[in-house]
């Protein structure tokens, strides 16, 4: 076991008490009372009218795409540098992900490159808020309006992140969030879809529950439910919702601590010539779901990960360049030369330990170990 892990969720008696309350209530399945509480408070926190819980962010993306009418042979713009779930959700619809290179400073999609990838088949854009920093939403929304495209924010890493005062998940047609164990707030697994469109949200809620109305929501009188559309079992359990609700109420505390850790990392790493620390746009509020640095191109990043692990420091790559992944071969037309920034960041990014109970002395230890490895 690593002395300093990459991440470590924080729970205390509050989560345990809420789990006990749910178990005692007898309602542990999805779309129950704890789901309703979480959806209400999450909507208020993000600044939208409606939210729907889902089993994870991938299912949130899938539900959003289906509800927004994405179908077979449609094209959806996706940043090349993201976790594969973003493009997988497009494939689930029979649609085609069209990859776009990123801005090497922010790790987010380069909005200047989007228009050249748009065709008559393009129906949507999925901007990803990489590692907790919002993409260039003004430019993306302007393009979407020009070409009549839907916008689905992949805010998996961005609970609480802001772009020019607006929270991630409040700017597109939908926002999709993750409560995975590595995220700022977690219920182990889980997700959320946000929107200001009631009709869209009602459709998503039904789609997440087999294409029917949930048992908890139905009239207390006996009635036989009807399955009005082909839906899915993408619900979030009330046990997980109760945990996520406690975590949500701590979200600003978590963000404050992560920014303090990021600032300290920046200070300790700034004089290492072979390291580039994360860049934050001045109008953004970064939540640092991950603290991801770039190593000089002459450094073998994978060797650094292995050597740090030997010293008890767990690190990881940032995320993936999708055009390099075999699953997308022959699905979308793209050449490696089209993604120089995504390729570089994929090869040279290094996620350093970042978690709520991490101490500044732990950062000192990580930085010292990194310096030693880079000198070898």
Task: Give the pLDDT of the chain (376 residues) as one tens digit per residue.
Answer: 579 999 999 999 999 999 999 999 999 988 899 999 999 999 999 999 999 999 999 999 999 999 999 999 999 999 999 999 999 999 999 999 999 999 999 999 999 999 999 999 999 999 999 999 999 999 999 999 999 999 999 999 999 999 999 999 999 999 999 999 999 999 999 999 999 999 999 999 999 999 987 665 555 667 788 898 899 999 999 999 999 999 999 999 999 999 999 999 999 999 999 999 999 999 999 999 999 999 999 999 999 999 999 999 999 999 999 999 999 988 766 777 899 999 999 999 999 999 999 999 999 999 999 999 998 6
> Are residue 47 and residue 60 in the same domain, yes or no?
yes
Is 67 a domain residue? yes
> Are residue 203 and residue 324 in the same domain, yes or no?
no
Q: Considering 167, 183, 257, 285, which one is annotated as catalytic?
A: 183
> Are residue 321 and residue 214 in the same domain, yes or no?
no
Indicate if 3 belongs to the active site.
Answer: no
Residue 310 belongs to a domain with what CATH number?
3.90.1150.10
Is 1 a domain residue? no
Residue 187 belongs to a domain with what CATH number?
3.40.640.10
Give the position of tokens 């009218």.
49
- Number of structural domains the chain divides into: 2
> Are residue 49 and residue 154 in the same domain, yes or no?
yes
> Are residue 72 and residue 140 in the same domain, yes or no?
yes
What pTM was estimated for this model as a whole? 0.95
Which of these three, 220, 249, 278, is where a domain ends?
A: 249
> Are residue 127 and residue 221 in the same domain, yes or no?
yes
> Are residue 231 and residue 319 in the same domain, yes or no?
no
For the chain, what is the HEC assignment?
CCCECCCCCCCCHHHHHHHHHHHHHCCCCECCHHHHHHHHHHHHHHCCCEEEEECCHHHHHHHHHHHCCCCCCCEEEEECECCCHHHHHHHHCCCEEEEECECCCCCCECHHHCHHHCCCCEEEECCECHHHCCCCHHHHHHHHHHHCCEEEEECCCCCCCEECCEECCCCCCEEEEECECCCCCCCECCEEEEECCHHHHHHHHHHCECCCCCCCCCCCCCCCCCCCCCCCECCCEHHHHHHHHHHHHCHHHHHHHHHHHHHHHHHHHCCCCCEECCCCCCCEECCCCCEEEEECCCCCHHHHHHHHHHCCECCECCCCEHHHCHHHCCCCCCCHHHCHHHHHHHHHEEEECCCCCCCHHHHHHHHHHHHHHHHC
Q: At what angle do helices 360-375 and 251-269 cross, to 10 degrees?
A: 40
> Are residue 64 and residue 142 in the same domain, yes or no?
yes
303 is in which domain, residue-wise? Answer: 251-375
> Are residue 179 and residue 264 in the same domain, yes or no?
no
Is 303 a domain residue? yes
């Amino acid at each position: 076991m690593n002395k300093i892990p990459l991440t470590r969720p924080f729970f205390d008696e509050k989560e345990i008490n809420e789990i006990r309350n749910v178990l005692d209530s007898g309602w542990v399945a999805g779309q129950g009372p704890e789901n309703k509480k979480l959806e209400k408070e999450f909507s208020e926190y993000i600044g939208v009218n409606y939210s729907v819980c889902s089993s994870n962010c991938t299912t949130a993306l899938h539900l959003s795409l289906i509800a927004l009418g994405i179908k077979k042979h449609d094209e959806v713009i996706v940043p090349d540098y993201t976790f594969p779930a973003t493009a997988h959700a497009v494939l689930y619809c029979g649609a085609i992900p069209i990859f776009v290179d990123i801005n090497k400073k922010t790790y987010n999609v380069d909005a200047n490159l989007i228009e050249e990838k748009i065709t008559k088949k393009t129906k949507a854009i999925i901007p990803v808020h990489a590692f907790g920093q919002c993409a260039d939403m003004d430019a993306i929304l302007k393009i979407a309006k020009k070409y009549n495209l839907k916008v689905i924010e992949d805010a998996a890493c961005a609970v609480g992140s802001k772009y020019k005062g607006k929270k991630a998940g409040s700017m597109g047609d939908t926002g999709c969030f993750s409560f995975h164990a590595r995220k700022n707030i977690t219920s182990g697994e889980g997700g959320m879809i946000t929107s200001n469109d009631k009709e869209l949200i009602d459709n998503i809620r039904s789609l997440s529950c087999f294409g029917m109305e949930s048992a908890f929501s139905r009239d207390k009188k006996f009635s036989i439910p009807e399955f009005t559309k082909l839906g899915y079992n993408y619900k979030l359990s009330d046990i997980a919702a109760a945990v996520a609700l406690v975590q949500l109420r701590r979200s600003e505390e978590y963000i404050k601590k992560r920014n303090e850790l990021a600032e300290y990392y920046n200070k300790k790493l700034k004089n290492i010539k072979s390291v580039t620390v994360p860049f934050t746009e001045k109008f953004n509020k970064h939540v640092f779901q991950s603290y991801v640095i770039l190593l000089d191109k002459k450094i073998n990043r994978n060797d650094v990960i292995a050597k740090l692990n030997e010293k008890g420091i767990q690190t990881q790559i940032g995320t993936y360049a999708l055009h390099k992944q075999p699953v997308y071969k022959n699905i979308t037309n793209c050449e490696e030369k089209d993604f120089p920034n995504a390729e570089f960041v994929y090869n040279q990014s290094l996620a350093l330990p970042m978690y709520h109970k991490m101490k500044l002395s732990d950062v000192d230890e990580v930085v010292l170990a990194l310096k030693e490895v880079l000198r070898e």
